[in-house]
Amino acid sequence: MKIIITGGSGFIGTNLIEKLVIDHEILNIDNRKPQKNGLYPYWQNVDINDFKSLQQKINDFEPDYIIHLAARTDLDGCSIEDYDANILGVKNLLRIANQQKSLKKIIITSSMLVCHGGYYPQNQFDYAPTTVYGESKVKTEEIVWNNKPQCDWAIIRPTSIWGPWFGVPYKNFFEMIIGKKYFHIGNKGCTKTYGYVGNAIYQIEQILFTETKDESNKVFLLEIIHQLTLKSGVMK
């Protein structure tokens, strides 16, 4: 199969390409260089906000599947405009995807942060973000629902993912825990949830190659595999 992965130079994308390239023809669309030298042959330097460049690359490749990972994912933005890639980029991709006659399915990546920690959404449209990044991902999902792809599609919401090729902020957090440098202030504990990237890749692959045409079940939470309970004192 011919599979486009947007944002394939990122942490999850790098692991995903390493897995899928064994059996499939892969194109990584990203405005950042691959983290791994061996993945350069699959990379095209394209900004998803640049409609014409994105359209040309996708049209030339004629994909069977698209996995959309590209996004701004940090929490440093001050306004929704700072996360334009999560809004304009998704609009561009969906518009181009509907021009693809060979496209069987597209997966759009959202985030668990469309709801704040500890909040359990009642349905696919129940949002409770507390960060601008989370708000931008709510916009991502709303764009998909308002511009439904003609092919099969699904939305995935990863939790905090860790593993090979991961970086800030989660790498720093794990290094602090391992080095016994983390100190949780206050009397109220909390639980941080994490998923291992290998499990996330398996889940993405299963969702990609499984029919998901039931509109009452379009949003998939990538399973929480690990939990850390933070309490007062130094974590050991």
Domain chopping of the chain, boundaries: 2-159+197-222
Indicate if the pLDDT at residue 106 is higher than 80.
yes
Query: Checking phi first, is residue 103 left (phi over 0); if not, alpha (psi -120 to 50) or beta?
Result: beta
Predicted pLDDT at 31: 97
Nearest residue to 105 (alpha-carbon basis) of 153, 52, 60: 153
Note the pTM of the prediction, 2 decimals. 0.90
**In percent, how much of the chain has pLDDT > 70?**
92
- Report the relative pairing of strands 152-157 and 65-68 from DSSP bridges: unpaired
Indicate if the pLDDT at residue 233 is higher than 80.
no
Predicted pLDDT at 63: 98
Residue 139, φ and ψ in degrees, nearest 5: -60, -40
Of 23-37, 44-58, 148-162, 190-204, which gets the smallest average pLDDT? 190-204
Predicted pLDDT at 183: 75
* Residue predicted with more confidence, 76 or 96: 96
CATH class in words for 2-159+197-222: alpha beta
Q: For residue range 124-147, what is the model confidence (pLDDT) as tens digits?
A: 999 999 999 999 999 999 999 999
* Residue predicted with more confidence, 230 or 220: 220
**In percent, how much of the chain has pLDDT > 90?**
74
Residue 219 CB neighbour total at 10 angstroms: 20
Residue 199 and residue 11 in contact, taking contact as beta carbons nearer than 8 Å? no
Cα 93 from Cα 109, distance rounded (Å)? 12
Indicate if the pLDDT at residue 235 is higher than 50.
no
DSSP code, position 106? E
Exposed, middle or buried by CB within 10 Å (0-12, 13-18, 19+), for 104? middle
Q: For residue range 25-73, what is the model confidence (pLDDT) as tens digits?
A: 999 999 999 999 999 999 999 999 999 999 999 999 999 999 999 999 8
Nearest residue to 68 (alpha-carbon basis) of 41, 30, 101, 99: 30
- Report the relative pairing of strands 233-234 and 183-184 from DSSP bridges: antiparallel
Is the Cα torsion angle 47, 74, 110, 123 positive or negative in sign?
negative
DSSP code, position 102? T
Long-range contacts of 230-233 (CB under 8 A, 24+ apart): 230/182, 230/184, 230/189, 230/190, 230/191, 230/192, 231/184, 231/189, 232/184, 232/185, 232/186, 232/187, 232/189, 233/183, 233/184
pLDDT band at 186 (very low <50, low <70, confident <90, very high): confident
Residue 65 and residue 208 in contact, taking contact as beta carbons nearer than 8 Å? yes
